[in-house]
Amino acid sequence: MGDGTAGGAEVPLRDRQHAEVERVLRHSTLDPFGILGLATACTADEVKAAYRTRSRLIHPDKTDHGQARDAFERLKRAESELMDDEKRASIRAMLAEARRELLAERQTRPAPAGETPAELEAAVLAKYRAIMVDIEWRRRQKLKKSMADEGRVAAREEEVALERRRKRDADKAWEDSRDDRVNSWRSFQAKAKGKAKGAAKKAKARPTPY
């Protein structure tokens, strides 16, 4: 952070606050170390100290910068991630992987001439961001596919449930109409017997030919 001086002159607090807000916002949310101004080998105590110092400058209640709240939220998120031992280790591992991939690529595509250590670190960070964006894209694609699969399963389940309801309703309708069917059958049988008796009477009444 420095001592608040520039060229031996005290830098006004407001200027330092605005400069810190803008510095934080220049860093990607994927770079919590950069947001807190820490090396990747930092300890939890260093994370806590850096957050305490920087949050005093950019807290929305302390400065009138229009984007102070966004910067403060970014700072708070970075502190939360790096205070978690597992997340801190995971970010370090991904940065190390980005460095390995970058150096492997440079076996066939050399680094820019005169590249400084700071420029190398910026290139590593850019590679890290690209990896994280790719991971996020794959995660979203997987989630999208999973949701589509779940949608198809849900649609099939709904179709099966609807078919069951239709069968249940048809069975109920069939059962409800049972008495009507029985009565109709009895009526039909009665009419058939009546016709048979009538035919028999007519046959008896008909004279016997000689």
Q: What is the pLDDT of residues 132-153, one digit of tens each?
A: 888 888 888 988 888 888 888 8
Q: Spell out a b/e string for 133-152, using b for 16 or more CB atoms within 10 Å of the CB, else e.
A: eeeeeeeeeeeeeeeeeeee
- pLDDT of residue 5 exceeding 80, the answer is no
DSSP-based three-state secondary structure for 175: helix
| Overall pTM surpassing 0.75 (yes/no) | no
* pLDDT score of 1: 45
Mean pLDDT for the stretch of residues 173-184: 72
- pLDDT of residue 17 exceeding 60, the answer is yes
Of 121 and 194, more confident: 121
Question: Cα dihedral angle (99, 100, 101, 102), rounded to 10 degrees?
Answer: 50
* pLDDT score of 81: 95
Q: Spell out a b/e string for 108-123, using b for 16 or more CB atoms within 10 Å of the CB, else e.
A: eeeeeeeeeeeebeeb
DSSP-based three-state secondary structure for 5: strand
What pLDDT digit, counting tens, does each position of 71-107 carry?
A: 999 999 999 999 999 999 999 999 999 999 999 988 8
Mean pLDDT for the stretch of residues 48-75: 96
How far, in Å, are 80, 81, 111, 178 from residue 86 at the CA level? 11, 9, 32, 70
Distance in angstroms (rounded) separating the CA atoms of residues 11 and 56: 16
Axis crossing angle, helix 178-205 with helix 117-176, rounded to the nearest 10 = 30
Residue 186 backbone class (left: φ over 0; alpha: ψ -120 to 50; beta: rest): alpha
* pLDDT score of 209: 57
Q: How far is Cα of residue 62 from the mean position of the Cα atoms in its chain?
A: 35
Mean pLDDT for the stretch of residues 32-52: 93
Average pLDDT, the chain: 84
User: CB-based contacts of 29: which residues, under 8 Å, 6+ apart?
Assistant: 35, 74, 77, 78
* pLDDT score of 23: 96
* pLDDT score of 208: 57
* pLDDT score of 7: 55
